[in-house]
Amino acid sequence: MIRLEQVSKRYQGSAFVLANISVEIAAGEMVFLTGHSGAGKSTLLKLIGLLERPNGGRISIGGLDIREVKPRGIPWLRQRMGFVFQDFQLLDDRNVFENVALPLRILGLDERDVRRRVSAALDAVGLVDKGRVLPRTLSGGEQQRVGIARAVVHRPAILLADEPTGNLDPALSREIFELFRHFNDLGTTLLIASHDLALLREMNQRTLVLEQGRLLHDP
């Protein structure tokens, strides 16, 4: 589903942030990505999410080499992915329902489908009765559940999460990880960057370790 071959990345004027990363994540896998601050976790997620371009190597998503995707194919490919952020990135000028509906509005779905899909997504994260409230009135854990509902509402094949529990306490973090497992059980492929070693151990999943831009350990 996601394949990286000898991928490297440097930002303008910087040294290499990622060097010769080769890894393959199969459809339906749930994989964690860990490593110290600055190791390149966010950069790796951005490359896979097509938010940054590699300087070398090959990335393919669902069998498509992203170098061969035409510019107008990029949004299409991006729509096959969902993103979850550490700081939730919810819009505070609209309610929970409209936050979750955003990806569907971009896709131009009609109102009936939007309502049905948003309700299903809010139901999946246990927030079906919170659609009308503003995000800032929710707890951190609830806000992240809204972030996850927004990330899955368009039924992406791949879910990418960058430190999704970085702002949450351990109990809420566990809840969020269990939610990820639920979407994985439904067939979504997940790649989740996290510092939370205790929780990663508890989840007992394949874990990639980055150290200074190199992939250390992939059992």
Ligand X SMILES: Nc1ncnc2c1ncn2[C@@H]1O[C@H](COP(=O)(O)OP(=O)(O)OP(=O)(O)O)[C@@H](O)[C@H]1O
Angle (CA) 101 114 158, round 5°: 60
Work out whether 38 is an interface residue with ligand X (CB under 6 A).
yes
- Which stretch of DSSP H or E encloses residue 141? helix 140-152
Region near ligand X per CB under 6 A, out of 31-39, 58-66, 93-101, 169-177:
31-39
- Which structure tokens are listed for 206? 């394949």
Work out whether 165 is an interface residue with ligand X (CB under 6 A).
no
Work out whether 86 is an interface residue with Mg ion (CB under 5 A).
no
- For the CB of residue 51, give the shortest distance to ligand X in the complex, in Å: 10
- List the single partner that 14 binds among Mg ion, ligand X, none, CB under 5 to 8 Å by kind: ligand X
Site track 37-66 with Mg ion (rule: CB under 5 A), x = hit: ----xx------------------------
Work out whether 99 is an interface residue with Mg ion (CB under 5 A).
no
Burial environment of residue 15 by CB neighbours within 10 A (0 to 12, 13 to 18, 19 or more): exposed
Question: Applying CB under 6 A, which of residues 37, 63, 70, 93 lies at the interface with ligand X?
Answer: 37
- Residue ranges of E strands in the chain: 2-10, 16-25, 30-34, 56-61, 64-65, 81-84, 158-162, 189-193, 207-211, 214-217
Closer CB to Mg ion, 34 or 189, in the complex? 34
Tell me if 6 sits within 8 A of 57, measured CB to CB. yes
- List the single partner that 204 binds among Mg ion, ligand X, none, CB under 5 to 8 Å by kind: none
- Which structure tokens are listed for 164? 């999704």
Would you tell me which residues interact with Mg ion (CB under 5 A)?
41-42
Would you tell me which residues interact with ligand X (CB under 6 A)?
11, 14, 17, 35, 37-43
